[in-house]
Amino acid sequence: MEEKLDRLFKECIQELEKIGIDINNKDIGKIEINISKRNNKRYGACKQEEPDIKSKYIEKIGRRKIVKYWKYNKHIIEISKWVMELDEKIIKNTIMHELIHCMPYCNNHGAEFKRYANYINNKLGYDISRVGNKEEDYKKSNLEYKEEKQLKYKIECQKCGYTFYRQRQNKNFTRKYRCGKCGGRFEVINLKEEKYGN
């Protein structure tokens, strides 16, 4: 499985080079890629190490202040084991998603991430987005998808964190209702969509 991952990783890098994105660049630093040992639900993850201290910024989440960096010199990409069983195109889509996170200003799914994703999607025919559809990806790979028994939606108050689960969801829910505990806005998370880790 490691050999397959190495081969696909190299293919991705070559494809990026063809459209003018150079990964072997000192602005990006070192990239390692591994198959995740844990049984993760997400497609993959990109852990950032060795931050460039000059790129420090503070992100505020509610009252919390978190120190973050726009640029890191070491990136460790992990691809989940179950992804390695899917169609190669889908494995490469996951690798590409995580490779974008290695670029400066791309450690979240913000504007710069989207700019790269759109460019790669248009030029190379990928389908890089914030979330993937596990059921669809299994179907495309001619594999049986074993549905995990779980409710479909998670509703979370953005202010106090109060959380509950629903099977069906009114599409105007977040506009119509506020949190009964604190009056905050709700966010609806579709649990059938699986994340690509940052």
List contacts with Zn ion (CB under 5 A): 157, 159-160, 162, 179, 181-182, 184, 196, 198
Q: How far is the CB of 95 from Zn ion (least distance, A)?
A: 12
Q: How far is the CB of 7 from Zn ion (least distance, A)?
A: 23
Residues with Cβ within 8 Å of 181's Cβ and at least 6 positions away in sequence, in order, are: 157, 160, 162
- Residue whose CB is less far from Zn ion, 73 or 158: 158
Q: Is 183 left (phi over 0), alpha (psi -120 to 50) or beta?
A: left
- Residue whose CB is less far from Zn ion, 59 or 147: 59
Q: How far is the CB of 92 from Zn ion (least distance, A)?
A: 15
Task: List the one residue out of 96, 75, 72 whose CA is nearest residue 196.
Answer: 96
Q: How far is the CB of 74 from Zn ion (least distance, A)?
A: 17
- Residue whose CB is less far from Zn ion, 26 or 106: 106
Between the CA of residue 86 and those of 59, 93, 119, 139, 170, what are the distances in Å? Answer: 36, 11, 24, 9, 33
Q: How far is the CB of 81 from Zn ion (least distance, A)?
A: 18
Count other C-beta atoms under 10 Å from residue 112's C-beta. Answer: 16
- Residue whose CB is less far from Zn ion, 143 or 164: 164
Question: How is residue 185 annotated by DSSP?
Answer: B
- Residue whose CB is less far from Zn ion, 74 or 159: 159
